[in-house]
Amino acid sequence: MGKFKFIETSIKGVIIIEPTVFSDERGYFMETFHNKEFKEAGIDVLFVQDNQSKSKKGVLRGLHFQINNPQGKLVRVIKGEVFDVAVDLRRDSVTYGKWEGVKLSEENKKQFYVPEGFAHGFLVLSDIAEFTYKCTNFYDAEDEGGILWNDPNVGIEWPVDNIKEILLSDKDKQLKTLNETSTNFEG
């Protein structure tokens, strides 16, 4: 039996991953990545960089992508809870401009695979969240792109009911809509 359950979403290539968690009175153990099982599930990528961030409630990071050196990301939360989102930027895709979202938390231990050719972002729902992710390409500040988190044409349904204020970086406040953004990703 595999150690992961791979759940396909409405967007081809975007996958929710549920690891098998072994728990007892001492705590828990789980694998977060297994190359062979991920390959068998269609995630045949080489991860080259791991990142981690810590953010407070209401922080929204995104929606980011790299223009010429796109990154696929395997994301998870190790403390707290976030709403994580992928937006399809592949111009020839039948789901271009569509989004998929999932709540990731230290309790549910779900992971989210966001392939290359997608914008990615998340909103922190808990008081604090620690977010970690593996990337298929190296980060390049000169190659950054992004789309506005609340682009009405994308229509992401962010769970903002218990959020007093959305906290954005200055950079993210300047992002444009998908229609105003140029991408050359293929599906």
pLDDT digits (tens, 9 = 90+) for 132-167: 999 999 999 999 999 999 999 999 999 999 999 999
**Does the annotation count 28 as an active-site position?**
no
The active-site residue out of 34, 64, 113, 120 is 64
**Residue 124 located in a structural domain:** yes
- In the chain, the number of structural domains is 1
pLDDT for the residue 1: 53
**Residue 21 located in a structural domain:** no
Q: Residue-wise pLDDT tens for the chain (187 aa)?
A: 579 999 999 999 999 999 999 999 999 999 999 999 999 999 999 999 999 999 999 999 999 999 999 999 999 999 999 999 999 999 999 999 999 999 999 999 999 999 999 999 999 999 999 999 999 999 999 999 999 999 999 999 999 999 999 999 999 999 999 999 877 777 6
pLDDT for the residue 182: 79
**Residue 160 located in a structural domain:** yes
**Residue 90 located in a structural domain:** yes
**Residue 158 located in a structural domain:** yes
pLDDT tens-digit profile of 6-19?
Answer: 999 999 999 999 99
**Residue 12 located in a structural domain:** no
**Residue 39 located in a structural domain:** no
Q: Give dist(CA 17, CA 8) in Å, integer.
A: 9
Q: What is the CATH number of the domain that holds 124?
A: 2.60.120.10
The active-site residue out of 96, 120, 133, 139 is 133
Q: Give dist(CA 7, CA 55) in Å, integer.
A: 27
Full domain range(s) for residue 119: 46-180
Using CA atoms in the order 71, 75, 78, 79, what is the torsion angle rounded to 10 degrees?
A: 90
pLDDT for the residue 2: 73
Q: CA distances (Å), 179 to each of 94, 152, 176, in order?
A: 16, 10, 8
**Residue 118 located in a structural domain:** yes
Tokens for 116? 């290359």
Tokens for 96? 């271009």
**Does the annotation count 133 as an active-site position?**
yes
Which residues are paired to 8 by β-bridges? 15
